[in-house]
Structure 1
Amino acid sequence: MAGLTTHVLDVTRGGPAEGVRIELFEFAAAGGRTLVADVLTNADGRTDAPLVSAREARVGRFELVFHAGDYFRRQGVKTADPPFLDLIPLRFAIADPGAHYHVPLLVSPWSYSTYRGS
């Protein structure tokens, strides 16, 4: 299955993060970026559909922006003001449009990690 998917796990709760806003941007070769998707995670911490479907998959440079600060405020988590982590940008490239790219976010108010999943 080709395309791009993501999910968000709240490591402070040990489970999926529902209601996280995620923006996906694509970078143009000449500079600048274009908004490709603007979605919210569901109860499973995933998006309801791939961010980029197998049919739409293409070589390029992309950025996911996770709105973690808003999520933790809605959860009632005590954070600094302004929060240590608010918007989390992850830049990556798709080199093989026939492959599946899964870019998850594991997040707390104080740290995050990511990887290329399957």
Structure 2
Amino acid sequence: MAGGISIHVVDVTRGLPAAGMVVEIFKVGGDKIAAGVLSHQGVLDHSVVRGENVEPGNYEVVFHIGEFYHQLDYALSEEFPFLDVRFALALVTLSNIIIFHLNHLGVFRCFAVDS
């Protein structure tokens, strides 16, 4: 079985998982392979985690940060509606865990772990 793409997001503004944030995953130059709302643990619960529709190639993850922080009553610039991150997967036999630390100012850190 192929490994998957597991998205984990922490809202460092509040020190909590980014529960309720909308996230989409696309194959670059192709179709959307996953979309959903992050769970109370800040994790995207989707079949892509188990490897469905995951193959070697380039991917793009779109985090709807503006909408998320607007719902929490944080003021954001109109120029910051989402965060778009691209990455490549060469080995899909591993689980690819991508961890993001975000805040309402647009500062973020990204960690990728193969397991």
Shorter-chain TM range is 0.7 to 0.9
Match of 2:74, SS?
coil
Please report the RMSD computed on the Cα atoms of aligned residues, expressed in angstroms.
Answer: 1.8
Alignment of 1:26-37 (within 5 A): 26-27=27-28, 32-37=29-34
After superposing on structure 2, the runs of 4+ consecutive aligned residues of structure 1 that deviate more than 4 Å are none
Structure 2: runs of 5+ lacking an equivalent = none
Instruction: Give the TM-score taking structure 1 as reference length.
Output: 0.84
Equivalent pair of 1:7/1:105 in contact (CA under 8 Å)? yes
**2:32 aligned partner, one-letter code:** L
Q: Percent identity?
A: 25
Other-structure match for 1:14: 15
Match of 1:43, SS?
coil
**1:68 aligned partner, one-letter code:** I
Question: Counterparts of 1:72 and 1:55 in 2: how far apart (Å)?
Answer: 30
Structure 2 vs 1, CA of residues 64 and 52 (structure 1 numbering), >3 Å: closer, same or farther?
same
Post-superposition offset of 1:50 = 4.7
2:60 paired residue among 55, 58, 63: 63
Structure 1: runs of 5+ lacking an equivalent = none
Other-structure match for 1:54: 51
Instruction: Give the TM-score taking structure 2 as reference length.
Output: 0.86
Alignment of 1:1-118 (within 5 A): 2-27=3-28, 32-54=29-51, 56-80=53-77, 82=78, 85-110=80-105, 111-118=107-114
Question: Counterparts of 2:56 and 2:49 in 1: how far apart (Å)?
Answer: 12
Equivalent pair of 1:57/1:98 in contact (CA under 8 Å)? no
